Amino acid sequence: MTTVAAIQMISTPDVATNIATASRLIASAAERGATLVSLPEYWPIMGMNDTDKVAQAEREGAGPVQDFMATAARRHGIWLAGGTIPLQSPEAGKVMNTTLIYDPTGQVARRYDKIHLFGFNKGAETYDEARTIVPGADVVTFEAPFGKVGLAVCYDLRFPELFRAMGQCTLLLVPAAFTYTTGSAHWEVLLRARAIENQCYVLAAAQGGQHANGRRTYGHSVLIDPWGKVTALLAEGEGLITGAIDQALIDGIRSSLPALQHRRL
């Protein structure tokens, strides 16, 4: 079996502070035996304004945030799923909201740009990621030593066709910064649904608390098994969870309930 970890943060507007927090938590996850560690969405910066991340956007392959992630993966000999970071985009005033996967040598193995951009308007609570983010276009997976891993980010969770397009995976990664309003209603049920219908593990690293900009994120970083059972959970606050990926459990469930074979398109 393989041990994986999800890091939960309450990221601040200060990149250096967030890097220090991530460094400490990654080291703790590695000490607990995790060979794959996931950071949450927006981990390097939760700015006072949506446009703050545009000013911090890095060019692909260069910048202090990417340097940190490469070094952390190499130092601890882990696969590091870099939550999301803002990378420069083709459109002025906007970024790509990007997950970078680093292998244990510190090399970038895969890149995923968030496809579905969050929009929400309820009273005084309003979000519109499309104002500052360019959507991605490609479905992305990668091969880890323990199996195929599918990549998604936060709002992507609401679109099951994305996960079907990945094919049969061992693990789905869903770094997120769900709002408290939507998270308290939908977070766990959506994650469990993706695990059950795809008969695989889901690891979701989240932002989890009250941020300096006034936003409250839901947290509840979680590992869910292919039967839909929550095997590790951190409700709120900074910290991490770890848990095991058991291929024998996946194989047994897919054998006894071969729903993936029963699909009719």
- 200 inside domain: yes
Any bridge partners for residue 207, and if so which?
Answer: 9
Task: Provide the β-strand partners of residue 251.
Answer: none
Q: For residue 181, give Cα distances in angstroms to 177, 178, 186, 240.
A: 12, 8, 9, 22
- For residues 136 and 110, the answer to whether their CB atoms sit within 8 Å is no
- Own/partner long-range contacts of 260-264 (Cβ < 8 Å, ≥24 apart): 260/168, 260/198, 260/199
| 239: in domain | yes
pLDDT in tens, 40-66: 999 999 999 999 999 999 999 999 999
Residues 6+ apart with CB under 8 A from 228: 192, 193, 195, 196
Provide the 8-state DSSP code for 7. Answer: E
In a domain, 204, yes or no: yes
Active site residues: 41, 114, 154
Number of domains in the chain: 1
The residue ranges of the chain whose pLDDT is under 50 are none
Q: Write the pLDDT tens digit of every residue in 203-238.
A: 999 999 999 999 999 999 999 999 999 999 999 999
| Domain housing 13 | 2-256
C-alpha count within 13 angstroms, C-beta hemisphere, residue 32: 20
In a domain, 14, yes or no: yes
Q: How many CA atoms lie within 13 A of 164 on its CB side?
A: 12
CA gap 12, 43 in Å, rounded: 8
pLDDT of the residue at 66: 98
In-domain check, residue 117? yes
Residue 265 domain-assigned (yes or no): no
**CATH code (residue 127):** 3.60.110.10
Q: Does 261 map to a domain?
A: no
Full-prediction pTM beyond 0.95? yes
264 in a structural domain: no
